[in-house]
Structure 1
Amino acid sequence: MPIYIQLSPKLTEESYQKELSSFSTSLEDARSRYRENLKHIKEQDEKALRLAQSDISTFEGHVSTLEETIRMSKTDEERLRQLDADLEIKKRGLRDFELSF
């Protein structure tokens, strides 16, 4: 919002001082609003950053849990294969034992 000081031959020292004072007040008000807006923007940015960091931490936790689940699943698959192999060996042994009689 531009602010103009009207200069005219009728401008007296007193009216000049009033105009200057009004201009200075308007300028200070504008600066104050600007600082408040910057402060508000900074607060919002900081809040958004904290939320984003929290979301990232949560996501990293989910990824870690999924990785652990995958590792456990692979381990379980290996155990299951080993148990299946052991069972087959025992079945063969039992058949061999039965055939020997």
Structure 2
Amino acid sequence: MKTLGTHNYYVYILTNKNKTVLYTGVTNDLKARLYFHTHPDALSKHFTTRYRCYYLIHFEHFQDVNLAIQREKQIKGWRREKKERMIKEYNPEWKFLNGEIE
């Protein structure tokens, strides 16, 4: 069992190369999840595979899984315009952040 405060959860947003599709997810291992998204099974029918959403443009860190899930649901409920405003505040140039995750 992990000590309180040592948990890591991430809410993240991926996009495709043309930045026309947004995908929001939650994970406890962002680097591994990005690898999973960029190296899908050949027969994968996942949303991120179908729409080629492999590029990380936003993420938030949480230590409580319930807060992370709550935030993911909140973001998923937003219209695209609101998501775009949030992304621009965090990442004004919509730079792909995949290489910055350790």
* Length-normalised TM-score, structure 2: 0.20
* Length-normalised TM-score, structure 1: 0.20
